[in-house]
Amino acid sequence: MATTAENLGTDTVNYDEITDYKLIRQWLLWGVVWLMFAPSVGVTISTLFNYPEYLGQNEYLTFGRLRPMHVNGVIFGAFSTLFVGCVFYLLPRLTGVAVYKSQWGYPLLWLWNAALVIGMVSLLLGYNQGLEAGELPLIPDIMFFMAIALMTYQVIMTVANRKIRPMYVSLWYLVAALVWTVANLMLGFVIPYTIPGINNAAFHGLFLHYIVGLWITPAGYVLIYYFLPASVKNPIYSHKLSMVGFWSLAVFYPFVGLHHYLYSPFADWAETLAIITSMLLIIPVWTVLQNFFGTMIGRWQNFGSNLTAKFMIMGSIMYLIGCFQGSTEALRSIQEPTHFTDFVISHSHLTVFGTFVVWAIGGLVYVWPRVCGRPLWSFKLGNWSFWLITCGISLMGIGLSAQGIEQGYMLMAGAEWVDTVVSMKPYWIVRTVAGASMDIGISLLAYNLMKTALVPAPGKVDEPVGGTPVTEGGAA
């Protein structure tokens, strides 16, 4: 039987007293700023594929300078900043105590944003460590490491001091995401400077996938495991399934980093291990998705009017498609036509943006009205945001997948590379239009949230029983 906040006795906790709403608002506000900035850079550079001269000959506006700004801005700016803001909201509700040393959150916010600004300017000036998703130079890298290490300490101490004894699944993923990422960022300090040759490429593959699989993925699970049950007011479908998902992610993901290096000088056993573990990732993907869709049983009738649930379920659908794509493209027979094509870029956009950023947006839509003390200003505008983002990422995923398959088979048939590029031009236009749709949706969302914060007459926002999601299946 699912444990709920009600039968844990958490209805006696006054969450207003242990939650720093000002801190949450500031983190979420900056998250929205980066959410508007980073995808816009993506649209800017995608236009270069069709109109390579439109930004002129300025060295600061070349693809090589702007692309890492887009990637790191989405991961560490848009997603991670929103994630931290949501964590400061949900952590007291899952532990029954205030966040340990919550006042640290203010200087950490400025340290975080300073690292992002310094990092973006450095990338624009051409300083780059050469690691995908780790391009930021050493100084902002160290700043991020300090911020995440201190947050890890805060979270672990909060969990250790908790009054609610059962460990909800979101807490499992939260602690793991932070601990894994502290270790991975230490690896990022070492790779560019001390590991030469092909081993550098191998560790680069590991680092990149640890950012995606051991930071973004468990952090995204934190959000949907909390906000989906909370928004539909239904217990999570199965705690046992959530633990299968947790441990299978922990066991299988560390080995997948070499699956981009098939047909390379790496040892065959290492490539094969990466293929096997990539396929085994279907286990955590399908178990968590079963949990999410199972949580919606009996709640679909109100789905259309529940923006948070719509973002969460849409992200789950993208997760199913993107991860199936990611696992299968690790097979040698599938990778042969798709590697080095936009099929891989489709996979990364469907998962990083279509899933995890969308889940962060769902958490933002849930938390922002509650920390402002009034309902969302316009559901209709929020719905427009949802559909513009959904249509944009769907169109991008379909277009990039079709483009990659076409180009791959043209190359396998012996076509000249330049001829394959010419055939891609219509797809690239679709990609830019899709990105613009997503950016417009994000802009409308930002306007909606701004109006929500500025509306003078506060309204009551419904909160689940005890302020906690009705929730996460039960004790570990």
DSSP 8-state assignment for residue 215 = I
Res 473: pLDDT = 40
10-467 maps to which CATH number?
A: 1.20.210.10
CA distance 248 to 319: 16
Task: For the chain, list residues with pLDDT below 50.
Answer: 1-9, 464-476
Residue-averaged pLDDT of the chain? 92
- What are the residues whose beta carbons fall under 8 Å from the beta carbon of 190, sequence distance 6 or more? 203
The model's pLDDT over 255-279, given as tens digits with 9 standing for 90+, comes to 998 898 898 898 899 999 999 999 9
Tens-place pLDDT, residues 370-383: 999 999 999 999 99
- Give the C-alpha separation, 240 to 2, whole Å: 11
Q: What pLDDT does residue 467 have? A: 41
Looking at residue 462, its pLDDT comes to: 54
Read off the tokens for 46. 């995608």
Q: For residue range 203-252, what is the model confidence (pLDDT) as tens digits?
A: 989 999 999 999 999 999 999 999 999 999 999 999 999 999 999 999 99
Digit-coded pLDDT (tens) for 76-121: 999 999 999 999 999 999 999 999 999 999 999 999 999 999 999 9
Confidence (pLDDT) at 193: 84
Given this model, what pLDDT does residue 3 score? 43
Helix axes 21-46, 80-95, angle to 10 degrees: 150
3-state secondary structure 347-379: HHHHHHHHHHHHHHHHHHHHHHHHHHCCCCCCH
Helix (H) or strand (E) holding 153: helix 138-160
Domain ranges (residues) in the chain = 10-467
What local confidence, expressed as pLDDT, does residue 185 receive?
A: 94
Distance CA 292, CA 90 (A): 18
Q: Which two tokens stand for residue 83?
A: 């994630």
